[in-house]
Structure 1
Amino acid sequence: MFFIRTHVRIRAQAIVRLSQGLTLQQTANEFHVHLNSIEAWRQRWNRQGLMGLYEGHHTGRKRKWAAEQQEALRALAQTDGGSANSLLRTLAQTEGLPAISQETARRYLHQMQFSYKRYRYSLKKHPPEAFGKAVRIIGELDQLARAGQCELLFYDEFGFSPNPPIQSGWSPIGQTRGVEPPSHGERVNVAEYFQDQDKAGAAESSHRVAVPHCNGSSTTCNCQGNAPCRCWQTSR
């Protein structure tokens, strides 16, 4: 399907109205444009014909940052990372570069093959053979649990920190930036034991279990009726 842009269709209709005997002012009033625009369309039609109805190439506004200034942004994102706002603030303090919007900085970074993504506490890659072995073991345990020969519980934990590090930032595409995790004394860890959905009603009574740890903390579990057991870690 051939699609004609709105502006091209309006110019063509204006040329038709002029050919029907309307004056420039009458045509401008009908299409709610300036008189000079109608005259420009008429001259382009006379010089170029049908191609004169289409818009030419627009260069747009000149970029605020030259190639050297964009390179400074790239180098800072490569070494420090962080958000676009923090990068612009640092460059304004150190390089004295002209102010640009965060959206413009993001566009520059995308053009330089950067992406905004989460950081990781560890850059270690799990070997495929170890991952495959774990999948096989979990599969065997799942089959035993479904056959009623054992009770399979899954354990998960997460933590909260009053001063978390930067969680996301700009990095080159294909590279992941690592950050140092905070010390354990500044974190509050929460742990949970849960069962498979098919075995959600395995708990028979309400009880609390405190498991001591060598570091002076303990894990407390609370199971209510048929609900999954919920556990949390507290520090003394």
Structure 2
Amino acid sequence: MLPVAAARPISLTASQRQRLKKMAHGHKTPHQARVRAHIVLHAARGRSNARIARETGLHLDTVRTWRDRFARQGIAGLADRKRSGRPPSFTALQTAQVKALACRLPAETGTPLSRWSCPELAREAVTRNIADSLSASTVRRWLAQDALKPWQHRSRIFITDPGFRPKAERVLDLYARTWQGRPLGEDELSGAP
């Protein structure tokens, strides 16, 4: 049998203890944060990981993980780590271009329709090389974000500016906290002129 590593001792400052108690007993605190705060408070009382697991009904590995993270990083260690997730399939510019297209009459594009539907918008976006492929459900989701319903409205907002794309790219890059392909730092407002 392998020896079990001793649990890391936890000592709290008065402000840490007070903050953890608020987290553990706050009615608006998310459940995961409450559980993590309880683990640390039990650990600060000198309890073993096995005892904390038994008393809280959590798995021993869960208790060990959050105790160790708190010992290394303090209260900040109790937060979820950033997850990379799946990269976005479409850029903000592509989304904006499809929304701009939805705000134009189909006849202006040479499409023989009186109103746009999501499948028709998706096809037109692919035809215009806005995206390589695009589903009607993605178009529907994008339009719903701004409550755009081109199949129901009689009036349109016309984007006729030929410089729409370059202007939109600059603005959307700044919203994405990038400038000329370089991520902006936390303290940078922008590198734009």
Band the TM-score falls in, shorter-chain normalisation: 0.3 to 0.5
Greater helix percent: which structure? 2
Greater strand percent: which structure? 1
TM-score, normalised by the number of residues in structure 2: 0.44
TM-score, normalised by the number of residues in structure 1: 0.37
- Structure with higher Rg: it is 1
